[in-house]
């Protein structure tokens, strides 16, 4: 994985395939490799050059000593696009990654050709604020949850009832989550960056084509919050994928991939 220094942070990135570039931005605490199993192959097959990277706070950058802001993460994406000579490009962001891209669309629209904003929000409601505060409190407590318990919490919070009610599927997911359990302190400086003021009015200035995707059973970013983003952005399209929770990009990857590739194939009107 090449590492480039952007705005003082070491960002590790990977490139797959060739063609017009697509930059993919992960959510809180997630490394760029989350896209590798499902989204990268689909986008490569559609003829794109796919660029994934680890946000600051994720290795090789590691935890930031002085902390950083959402604006810093937006500047990182802009800097990476410029470093790779990829702009204007297509972009995809999930959760915090979607918020980062929304702010990029406001501040640096010339770097983006069109955007897919997945399970993203334009404001913080009481549930999001409470969840974020709880994650920060857990991180600062120094407590590491036992992997089996962490896996259960992850499953209940991020998967759909359809998956939770399927014993065989659930056991598979629990095994994956237990093996990949991440100490939340590793991404401590990212926690809380998705707690944003109401930015919906600012998003009315976005001029690039956008697809906003909500997940029907998402308990983290409930789909009405994503729908608000689509309503705010002029000309944006909203689609909601059933039968999946916040990890819909893993739970229903074929449906999400089809939505992304169909949108990217569209021409400007």
Dump the DSSP string for 162-174: HHHT-HHHHHHHH
Angle between helices 147-158 and 167-179 (to 10 degrees): 130
Please give the Cα distance from 4 to 159 (Å, whole number).
Answer: 34
What's the confidence (pLDDT) of residue 67?
A: 80
213 neighbors 117 (Cβ within 8 angstroms): yes
Domain boundaries in the chain?
3-125+197-265
Specify the pLDDT at position 179: 81
Euclidean distance between CA atoms 150 and 83, whole angstroms: 37
pLDDT of residue 63: 47
Cα–Cα distance measured from residue 246 to residue 258, given in angstroms and rounded to the nearest whole number: 18
pLDDT of residue 198: 98
Per-residue pLDDT, 178: 87
pLDDT < 50 positions in the chain: 62-64, 183-186, 269
CA nearest 68: which of 139, 5, 9?
9
Residue 146: count of CB within 10 angstroms of its CB:
10
Candidates 61, 76, 194, 218; catalytic one = 218
Say whether 194 is catalytic.
no
246 is catalytic: yes
Predicted pLDDT of residue 61: 53
Count of beta carbons in the 10 Å neighbourhood of residue 232: 22
Q: Please, what sign has the CA dihedral across residues 45, 48, 54, 59?
A: positive
Q: Which of 54, 95, 135, 226 is labelled catalytic?
A: 95
What pLDDT, on the 0 to 100 scale, is given for residue 183? 45
Instruction: Tally the residues of the chain.
Output: 269
Dihedrals phi, psi of 13, to nearest 5 degrees: -140, 160
**CATH topology assigned to domain 3-125+197-265:** Rossmann fold (3.40.50)
* pLDDT for res 185: 46
166 is an active site residue: no
Determine if the pTM surpasses 0.85. Answer: yes
Per-residue confidence (pLDDT) for residue 181, from 0 to 100: 62
Cβ contact 268:26 at 8 Å: no
Q: What would the two tokens of residue 75 be?
A: 């500047």
């Amino acid at each position: 994985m090449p590492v480039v220094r952007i705005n003082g942070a070491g960002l590790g990135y990977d490139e797959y395939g060739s063609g017009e570039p697509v930059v993919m931005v992960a959510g809180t605490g997630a490394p760029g490799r989350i896209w590798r199993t499902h989204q990268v192959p689909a986008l490569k097959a559609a003829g794109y050059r796919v660029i994934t990277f680890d946000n600051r706070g994720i290795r090789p950058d590691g935890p930031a000593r002085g902390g950083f802001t959402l604006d810093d993460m937006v500047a990182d994406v802009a800097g990476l696009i410029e470093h790779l000579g990829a702009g204007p490009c297509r972009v995809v962001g999930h959760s915090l990654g979607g918020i980062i891209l929304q702010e990029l669309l406001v501040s640096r629209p010339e770097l983006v050709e069109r955007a897919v904003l997945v399970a993203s929000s334009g404001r913080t409601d009481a549930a999001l604020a409470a969840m974020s505060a709880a994650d920060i409190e857990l991180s600062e407590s120094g407590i590491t949850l036992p992997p089996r318990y962490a896996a259960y919490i992850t499953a209940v919070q991020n998967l759909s009832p359809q998956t939770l009610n399927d014993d065989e599927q659930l056991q598979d997911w629990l095994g994956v989550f237990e093996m990949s359990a991440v100490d939340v302190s590793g991404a401590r400086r990212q926690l809380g960056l998705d707690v944003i003021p109401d930015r919906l009015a600012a998003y009315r200035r976005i001029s690039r084509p956008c697809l906003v995707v909500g997940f029907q059973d998402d308990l983290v970013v409930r789909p009405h919050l994503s729908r608000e983003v689509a309503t705010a952005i002029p000309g944006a399209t909203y689609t909601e994928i059933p039968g999946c929770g916040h990890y819909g990009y893993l739970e229903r990857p074929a449906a999400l991939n089809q939505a992304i590739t169909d949108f990217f194939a569209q021409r400007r009107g």
